[in-house]
């Protein structure tokens, strides 16, 4: 993580169009986020899913979820391009509530020549809970849908509980409906 953060900081000095994604399953993420936000950097928060084990990371998914929820207000206040990537309806509601409480038009640090503030963007993986990005678009929230690539088997196995398999199968096979 340290090497990634160092590389990001180096690139961000000369390029204002880069951002970084932090995984909230790591215990260090709160400190990393606050350090990055001192510079107003674009940050995306996700739960994350890799092979770290406690004590480096939280022991339960609930702790990871709570950690992401706790970090949303700071992200909204100080990132010039805040984003969260999740398919968790509870976290989406926490973000909605944080948006309602935040002064999102003028976050701290937006004055004085800083890059223009962007509203919180909600990010999703293609095919995983497709009703969630559609609902966000209906209420006017910025949405980005990612198409995974690379080693797909680990992604598919991790994402299976969230996928609408029948709709994806229909799309792949070119059917309007499955009979």
Q: Which two tokens stand for residue 162?
A: 């969230």
- 3-state secondary structure at position 54: coil
pLDDT tens-place values along the chain, 179 residues long? 999 999 999 999 999 899 999 999 999 999 999 999 999 899 999 998 777 788 999 988 899 999 999 999 999 999 989 999 999 999 999 999 999 888 544 444 444 444 445 689 999 988 888 999 999 999 999 999 998 777 777 766 666 665 555 555 555 555 554 44
- In whole angstroms, give the CA distance from residue 103 to residue 123: 21
CB neighbourhood size of 72 (10 A):
22
- In whole angstroms, give the CA distance from residue 36 to residue 149: 27
pLDDT at 52: 79
Tracing tokens 């509601």 back to the chain, one arrives at 93
């Amino acid at each position: 993580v340290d090497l990634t953060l160092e590389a990001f900081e180096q690139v961000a000095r000369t390029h204002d169009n880069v951002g970084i994604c932090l995984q909230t399953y790591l215990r260090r993420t709160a400190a990393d986020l606050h350090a990055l936000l001192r510079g107003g950097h674009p940050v995306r928060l996700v739960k994350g899913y890799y092979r770290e084990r406690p004590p480096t990371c939280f022991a339960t998914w609930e702790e990871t979820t709570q950690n992401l929820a706790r970090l949303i207000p700071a992200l909204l206040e100080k990132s010039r391009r805040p984003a969260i990537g999740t398919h968790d309806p509870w976290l989406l509601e926490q973000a909605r509530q944080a948006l309602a409480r935040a002064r999102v038009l003028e976050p701290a640090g937006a004055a004085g020549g800083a890059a223009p503030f962007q509203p919180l963007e909600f990010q999703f993986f293609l095919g995983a809970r497709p009703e969630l990005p559609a609902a966000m678009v209906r209420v006017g929230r910025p949405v980005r849908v990612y198409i995974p690539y690379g080693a797909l088997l680990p992604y598919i196995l991790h994402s299976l509980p969230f996928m609408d398999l029948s709709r994806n199968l229909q799309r792949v096979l070119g059917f309007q409906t499955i009979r």
